[in-house]
């Protein structure tokens, strides 16, 4: 492996520009989100498009059909061959996307991470996301407050192992729940980012643990699936459900009592800032290495004041 890599170095690999330099006048940007048509990424993309056109840049936005690294890598490969000045990307796996993104970088393409990030911090020029660990802690505090002193079991639903954001949320949640002795944390389970899988896991957990008092869904699909399962078991409002994100369905579920709290992110801000950073990086200007955008806990009590945090299903 190593010898092959060395042999290929600087000697005209596919798509190689030869010098690894970014043309400061390149006006083409690419945005690769984690999944097509999903409101978190739709909100990010709408804001990114707006910022790009305001600054006179073209933004080519693409996404895999599912939150899936193989398809995302393929899309990235296609985009690298079009030589944009920067690729703004939400990597769907914190390791698998490292090699193709390193390849992009070697081709003179600035890499900007939005939402998710690689474990290897040396490839991107900047990373923008919520403070996901803190978001998990906030979810645990919110859940503990909703449950009160009642003793019982609590379940966290993660998505896919290797997703930087939801891994950090699950960790923050687990470490914070440990501070509440009345709450017994069940082993965290993975939904593969499928609502139906989340629903199955919640149904099975209810059957096996009649003392279940709380569930945390670490992202949109996972929380939506958990809400469905609790509703079908007539447990809405008895088992407290804290979700992450604020899709139209999640907001409806909060209003109609199928969900008790949502930790909302600001995907529009991430998309807009991502474009600004990408443009600055193309021009060779300094950019902040890492920035955390705000989150907020939305409950029935404050929902009417938080409409600016609701995600969009389309621009
Ligand atoms: O929660 C967001 C995002 O932050 C996460 O990285 C992946 O899932 C979402 O896109 C929601 O589906």
Interstrand relation of 183-185 and 152-158 (parallel, antiparallel or unpaired): parallel
Q: Which residue owns the Cα nearest ligand 1 atom 1?
A: 219
How far apart CA 16 and CA 127 sit, in angstroms, is: 24
- Report ipTM for this prediction: 0.98
CA 170 to ligand 1 centroid distance, Å: 13
Q: What is the pLDDT of residue 14?
A: 41
- Cα(225) to centroid(ligand 1), Å: 14
Residue 38 CB–ligand 1 contact under 6 Å:
yes
Under a CB-based contact definition with an 8 Å cutoff, are residues 97 and 76 in contact? yes
Say yes or no to pLDDT of 125 above 90. yes
Calculate how far, in angstroms, residue 229's C-alpha sits from the geometric centre of ligand 1.
20
Task: Output the pLDDT for position 20.
Answer: 84
Residue 1 — very low, low, confident or very high, per pLDDT cuts 50/70/90? very low
How high is the pLDDT of residue 301?
Answer: 95
Check pocket membership of 133 for ligand 1, CB cut-off 6 A. Answer: no
- Identify any residues that bridge with 202 across adjacent strands, giving them in sequence order: none
Mean pLDDT over the full length of the chain: 94
Range in 3-17, 120-134, 160-174, 199-213 with the lowest mean pLDDT:
3-17
Supply the pLDDT for residue 11: 35
Average pLDDT estimate for 280-291:
97
Q: Is the CB of 219 under 6 A from ligand 1?
A: yes
Neighbour-count burial for 30-47, b at 16+ CB within 10 Å, e otherwise: bbbbbbbebbbbbbbbbb
For residues 90 and 115, the answer to whether their CB atoms sit within 8 Å is yes
Q: Which atom of ligand 1 is nearest to the CA of 165?
A: 6
Q: How far is the CA of 15 from the centre of ligand 1 (A)?
A: 31
Contacts of 105 (CB under 8 A, 6+ apart): 20, 111, 123
User: Does residue 68 or residue 1 have the better pLDDT?
Assistant: 68
Ligand 1 and 34: CB distance under 6 A = yes
What is the distance between the alpha carbons of residues 197 and 159, in angstroms, rounded to a whole number?
10
Q: What's the burial of 57, exposed, middle or buried (CB within 10 Å: 0-12/13-18/19+)?
A: buried
pLDDT band at 19 (very low <50, low <70, confident <90, very high): low
Among protein residues, the one whose CA lies closest to atom 10 of ligand 1: 40
The ligand 1 atom nearest the CA atom of 90: 6
Q: What are the two backbone dihedrals, phi and then psi, of residue 155, each rounded to the nearest 5 degrees?
A: -125, 135
Q: Is 73 exposed, middle or buried (0-12, 13-18, 19+ CB in 10 A)?
A: buried
Protein residue whose Cα sits closest to atom 4 of ligand 1: 115
């Amino acid at each position: 492996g190593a010898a092959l890599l060395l042999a290929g170095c600087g000697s005209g690999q596919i798509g190689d520009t030869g010098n690894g330099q970014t043309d400061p006048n390149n006006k083409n940007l690419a945005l690769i989100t984690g999944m097509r048509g999903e409101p978190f990424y739709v909100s990010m993309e709408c804001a990114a498009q707006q910022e790009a056109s305001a600054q006179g840049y073209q933004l080519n936005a693409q996404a895999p059909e599912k939150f899936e690294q193989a398809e995302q890598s393929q899309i990235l490969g296609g985009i690298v061959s079009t030589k944009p000045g920067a690729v703004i990307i939400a990597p769907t796996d914190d390791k698998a996307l490292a090699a193709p993104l390193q390849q992009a970088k070697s081709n003179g393409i600035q890499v900007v991470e939005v939402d998710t990030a690689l474990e290897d911090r040396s490839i991107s020029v900047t990373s923008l996301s919520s403070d996901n660990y803190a978001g998990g802690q906030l979810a645990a505090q919110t859940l503990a407050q909703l449950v009160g002193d009642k003793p019982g079991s609590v379940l966290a639903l993660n998505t896919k192992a290797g997703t930087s954001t939801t891994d950090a949320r699950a960790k923050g949640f687990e470490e914070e729940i440990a501070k509440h002795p009345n709450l017994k944390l069940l082993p965290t389970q993975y939904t593969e980012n499928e609502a139906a899988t989340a629903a199955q896991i919640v149904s099975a957990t209810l059957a096996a643990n009649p003392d279940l008092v709380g569930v945390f869904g670490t992202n949109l699909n996972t929380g939506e699936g958990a809400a469905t399962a609790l509703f079908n078991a007539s447990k809405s409002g008895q088992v407290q459900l804290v979700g992450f994100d604020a899709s139209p369905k999640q907001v409806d579920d909060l209003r109609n009592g199928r969900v008790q709290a949502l930790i909302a992110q600001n995907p529009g801000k991430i998309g807009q800032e991502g474009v600004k950073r990408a443009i600055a990086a193309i021009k060779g200007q300094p950019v902040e290495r890492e920035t955390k955008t705000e989150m907020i806990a939305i409950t029935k009590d404050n929902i009417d004041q938080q409409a600016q945090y609701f995600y969009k299903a389309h621009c």
